[in-house]
Amino acid sequence: MHNQRYPKNDNSHPLIMDNNYKLVADMIKKDLFGVLLKAKLICNTEIAVLTLFDNSQNFVQTYFHDVDGNVSIDKVFFDYVFDVNGTLEIPDVSTEPQSQRNSVIFQNFGILYYYEAPLIGYDGKIVGFLSVMDRRPNKLTDSQRTLLSLLCIEVFNLLQEKNRHLQLTSKLEYVKSTLDMTSQVARVGSWEYDLVDDYIDWSEMTKIIHGVPKDYRPSIETAIEFYKVPQHKMKIVQAINCAISTGASWDLELEIDTYQGTRLWVRALGKAAFKKGKCVRLYGTFQDIDKRKRSEAESIRSKKMLEDVLNATTAVAIIATDAEGVITLFNRGAENLLGYKSEEVIGKITPTLFHSSREVRDRAKELEIEFGYPISEFRVFVEIAERYGYEQREWIYIKKDFTQLYVSLAVTAMRDISGQIIGYLGIATDITKIVLQREELEKAKKLADQGSVAKSEFLANMSHEIRTPLNGIIGFTDLMSRTKLDDTQKEYLSIVDQSANLLLSIIN
């Protein structure tokens, strides 16, 4: 035998376990004191002590059953453990060395006999001791030792059972807390109708949704009266009656008027419980879905408004696609422009069908030269829009009857809030008349240019033909002016000379 002080908090020590046995033991102390009484009676001793080591609290606690039958709990009852490897028995302390007799266990209580049996956990670690003591020398029989060992097992099982109960209780409280928080966030309550006792119970959230006080006690009649819309009241009454008679469950979205008179959308779910073929209980959940329903209604109104706007624009083709190019929107204007019905194209094809394959190939070559990599099919229409957000370009559309028309097509890339492309929007207007007028103007300009060239050539030839005789006339008048002429002749000759020189300047 050797002296050893109680260990400090060290997870590596064989006496220490991670379980908080102090907390558990305090909850079952009556049971533990009962075990100590059994130990005293079995061993015929005056004192019984249960010692527990608690890792999480870092101390030793003892449960003490004394000579007079009094019970107490002390954080430290004695300061030495004599053997940590198994049972220990000291028949007569007076025969032990002086160092043993100086221990508080013997000095303070006058103990002469001491026996301890270990409490061993499932993992083999010691979690405490069950000890019996007396103020006279003693020695246990084998039967007493066996019974004391069984009491140790009983103590450990009590601790483990209570510990498991605490863990389950803690988990249950956590689940309940989580459900309560979920109920508050989702605004979901519960309800129950006991048909045997004619009693309805609403959860706190169900009462909050109805806008009633916490102490409000509903009846089946008052509960139904919250449904003010006649057809909704009829639906819930039919659902209840059907559940009672056939066991059918229900899941309805209805409107109620709260206690304060506010109209509110709710989702009511119910099930029936039967006993011996008779419905004895209805139960279910009750959820506030007012925001969702109003949001859905607003979404429907907005969608209808958008559809009305799109369909009212009969002269403009609006075509939307998903990220893969499959058509998702084909408005009335697109139907008028291309001759297809929306149901023929939505979810089935890409806008490539409406384009000239030769024009698409030519554009693909242009883009390949510009960007340095192959671009084909649907990418031809969206590559620029993806890079720069927008592209407007003239294209030839091929209608369902294979006739062609010119359009000005503006393509925009549509993105979500994270910047990811979710589709494309194309808006096309028929510019066939403009293109044809432009072509006619170009033809007219070309003809005018050709006429101007012919005129210039004609004048050049004519000027050459006229210049030769005209020079002769000018030369002849010059010679005539040097001869003897009367005044009249000189005047006539001067007029001829001026006219000839003027004509020559025009030709030049």
CATH of the domain at 51: 3.30.450.40
Average pLDDT over residues 271-275: 96
What is the tens place of the pLDDT at every residue in 310-339?
777 777 999 999 999 999 999 999 999 999
Whether 226 and 118 map to the same domain: the answer is no
Tracing tokens 């720069």 back to the chain, one arrives at: 388
pLDDT, one tens digit per residue, over 413-462 is 999 989 899 999 999 999 999 988 988 888 888 887 777 777 777 666 76
| 8 A C-beta contact, residue 183 and residue 205 | yes
> Is 346 contained in some domain?
yes
- Asked whether residue 91 is domain-assigned, the answer is yes
Is the pLDDT at 508 greater than 70? The verdict is no
Specify whether 232 is located in the same domain as 158.
no
Strands (E), 187-262: 188-194, 199-202, 250-257
pLDDT band at 407 (very low <50, low <70, confident <90, very high): very high
Total residue length of the chain: 508
Question: Domain limits at 131?
Answer: 21-167
pLDDT at residue number 499:
82
Considering only residues 79 and 193, tell me which one the structure prediction assigns the higher pLDDT.
Answer: 193
Q: Which amino acid is at 283?
A: Y
Does residue 347 belong to any structural domain of this protein?
Answer: yes
Same domain, 64 and 106: yes
Convert the pLDDT of each residue in 166-222 to its tens digit.
888 888 888 877 777 777 777 899 999 999 999 999 999 999 999 999 999 999 999
Q: How does the average pLDDT of the chain come out, rounded?
A: 83
Same structural domain, 161 and 201: no
Residue 269 within any structural domain of the chain: yes
Where is the domain boundary, 113, 132, 167? 167
CA distance 482 to 500: 18
Q: Where does 280-356 have alpha helices with state H? A: 290-312, 332-338, 342-345
Residues 393 and 337 in one domain: yes
Instruction: Answer yes or no: do 409 and 331 share one domain.
Output: yes
Judgement on whether residues 31 and 160 belong to the same structural domain of the protein = yes
Considering 294, 328, 348, which residue would you say is the last residue of a domain? 294
What pLDDT does 122 receive? 77
Identify the domain boundary among 260, 294, 328: 294
- Same-domain check for residues 196 and 248: yes
Share of the chain above pLDDT 70, in %: 83
Residue 174 lies in a domain: no
- Angle, alpha carbons 420-421-426 (nearest 5°): 155
C-alpha to C-alpha distance for 86 and 93, rounded to whole angstroms: 19
Query: Is the pLDDT score of 88 beyond 90?
Result: no
Same domain, 363 and 469: no
Tell me the backbone φ, ψ of residue 409, rounded to 5 degrees: -110, 120
C-beta separation of 130 from 152 below 8 A: yes
Is residue 447, in this structure, part of any structural domain at all? no
Given phi > 0 = left and psi -120 to 50 = alpha, else beta, which region is 69? left
Question: Do 160 and 271 share a structural domain?
Answer: no
Q: Are the C-beta atoms of residues 21 and 155 closer than 8 Å to each other?
A: no
Quick one: what percent of the chain has pLDDT higher than 90? 49
What's the per-residue H, E or C state across 70-138? CEEEECCCCCCECCCCCCEEECCHHHCCHHHHCCHHHHCCCCCEEEEEEEECCCCCEEEEEEEEECCCC
Give the domain CATH number at 214: 3.30.450.20
Question: Does 2 score more than 80 pLDDT?
Answer: no
* Domain contains 304: no
Tell which residue, 317, 491, 314, has the closest CA to residue 407.
317
Number of domains in the chain: 4
Residue 450: inside a domain: no
Same domain for 235 and 194, yes or no, is yes
User: Residue 238 has which token pair?
Assistant: 């039919």
Q: Are residues 268 and 399 in the same domain?
A: no
